[in-house]
Amino acid sequence: MWKTAEYTGWGRFYRAKGELARPERASALDRIAGEAPCPAIGQRRSYSDGCLNTRGRAIATDRLDRMLGFDEETGVLDVEAGCRLSEILRFFAPRGWLPTVLPGTGFATVGGAIGMDVHGKNHHHVGSFGQHVTGLTLHHPDGRREVLPGDPLFAATIGGMGQTGPIGSARLQMQPVKGPVMMVTERRVPDLDSYLELFDTTEATYTVGWIDATATGGNLGRGIFEEGETGAGLVPPAKRGKRIPMDAPNFALSGPVVRGFNAAYYRRIPDRGRTVVKPLEDFFFPLDKIFDWNRLYGKRGFHQFQCVVPLAARDVLREMLTKVSASGLASPLAVLKRMGPGRAGMMSFPTEGYTLAVDFPARDQAAEMIRRLIAMATEAGGRVYLAKDAFATAAQMDAMYPERADWAALCNGLDPDHAYETDLIRRLDLRAER
């Protein structure tokens, strides 16, 4: 029933070696939950150590991937926790429905989306993933437990990083969709102020901004702003995915290469902008077509820093970008977005403000830089996303997550032996009752 495996998060920086079970049916999950309680993990699309349990055990949920029922009237889908969001999209979009919230990767599972209360490009309108969960099933040592919104256990489970036990299945409120394609308007944005202005005034359903984290001076914060609306139309043929065959050499993402790439990427969009029709997958999951793209960062792996800062903290955002671009450490992947206040769990990341995400190859200077950025976010009353974090400290947690202690008490009551803890929980001492 247990297999010893080495595994990593998406950033391939933190690694774990431990025993994994892989139940293929709900009754097998019941058995493991009873005999050997341990954390459940999904597709390990979290960047750092949230999906790792070094020297311990974990439950891989990838075989629990079936759709169990759908109510056409209400649009509620009953689905096993290991089902990938891309599968739900692929299956439901042609039938006129979409998961209400989709993160930037379709590999994320329903369980992982709940565990991190993920947000999507429409967060400013519809809130987080957990706000559209109408019920879920936890598999506890003493049996299954249905948990509904309003129950304190629900708020502890959404964004709860697996600490309330394995989720076997969940009910998701889907939303009707106009058509199977996305009309995307892309335009160049010359600097940070114009960027934030656009985010503050846009009325589009989906918005996201790529940002050139290498641009300095007057170009600081320049990027490409994307607005999307679903629509009907001809679906362009989907291209087959490509695979990164090996770990890239270290110079692949060096400063000059990235600067050159970013400048070209920016100019790709005509001055006056353009509107294109994209398959939904291409809009929601732009990177998923390149399988294993994390290998581009070479053996040492990489980090993503993601924070959200209050709307009033524009200057902090500017300061962060200045530091990042001056350092020459950033990779081409940097994203800016305005978030609404929507969140469903005690430990959910989303909160109203601007969120900035920047990837860095794993190097000592990058770690140094990320630590500084984390400190700035904390000071500004913001927080970092625990699905991404690699370097925050336990001391910073209570400022970022004010409900942490209550959440910890609830988890500890349920799991006094701390059997569900992952490396992330231990690193940040998240279940300490301080």
- Residues forming the site for ligand FAD (CB under 6 A): 10, 39-46, 50-51, 61, 81, 103-105, 108-109, 111-113, 115-116, 118-119, 161-162, 166-167, 287, 387, 422
Pick one of 15, 57, 63, 314: the residue that binds another protein (CB under 8 A). Answer: 63
Helices (H) and strands (E) in the chain, counts: 13, 20
User: From the list 66, 125, 188, 289, which residue makes contact with another protein (rule: CB under 8 A)?
Assistant: 66
Closest by CA to 213, choosing from 300, 323, 123, is 323
Q: Nearer to another protein by C-beta: 27 or 393?
A: 27
Q: What is the CA radius of gyration of the chain?
A: 21
In the complex, least distance from residue 92 CB atom to another protein, rounded to whole angstroms: 9
Q: 69 vs 236, which CB is nearer to another protein?
A: 69
Q: How many other CB atoms sit within 10 Å of the CB of residue 417?
A: 9
Instruction: Give the nearer residue to another protein in terms of CB position, either 83 or 220.
Output: 83
User: Measured from the CB atom, is 1 or 409 closer to another protein?
Assistant: 1
Name the residue with tokens 């902090």.
Answer: 316
| Partner that binds at residue 111, options another protein, ligand FAD, none, CB closer than 5 to 8 Å by kind | ligand FAD
Q: Is 274 in the site for another protein (CB under 8 A)?
A: no
Q: Does 80 contact another protein by CB under 8 A?
A: yes
What single-letter DSSP state applies at residue 86? H
Say if CB 112 and CB 42 are below 8 A apart: yes
**Residue 67 binding partner per list ligand FAD, another protein, none, with a CB distance cut-off of 5 to 8 Å that depends on partner kind:** another protein
Question: H or E element: which one contains 135?
Answer: strand 133-140
Provide, rounded to whole angstroms, the least separation between the CB of residue 47 and ligand FAD: 7
Which residues from 1-60 bind another protein, rule CB under 8 A? 1-4, 21-22, 24-28
Whole-number minimum distance, CB 121 to ligand FAD, in Å?
Answer: 7
Does 269 help bind another protein (rule: CB under 8 A)? Answer: no
**Sequence-ordered strand ranges (E) for 252-333:** 274-279, 290-291, 302-309
For residue 414, how many other CB atoms are within 10 A of its CB?
17
**Choosing among another protein, ligand FAD, none, which partner's interface includes residue 127 (Cβ < 5 to 8 Å by kind)?**
none
Decide whether 206 or 266 has the Cβ nearer to ligand FAD: 206
Closest CA to 41 of 344, 401, 427, 423: 423
Q: Phi/psi of residue 176, each to 5°?
A: -65, 150
DSSP H helices in 191-294: 192-201, 255-267, 280-284
26 versus 309: smaller Cβ distance to another protein:
26
Dist. CA 303–CA 11, nearest whole Å: 6
Q: How far apart are CA 81 and CA 55, in angstroms?
A: 24
129 class by beta-carbon count within 10 Å (0-12 exposed, 13-18 middle, 19+ buried): buried
Binding mask 204-233 for another protein (x = CB under 8 A): ------------------------------
Residue whose CB is less far from ligand FAD, 116 or 133: 116
Which three-class secondary structure state does DSSP give residue 157? Answer: helix
Binding site for another protein (CB under 8 A): 1-4, 21-22, 24-28, 63, 66-70, 80, 91
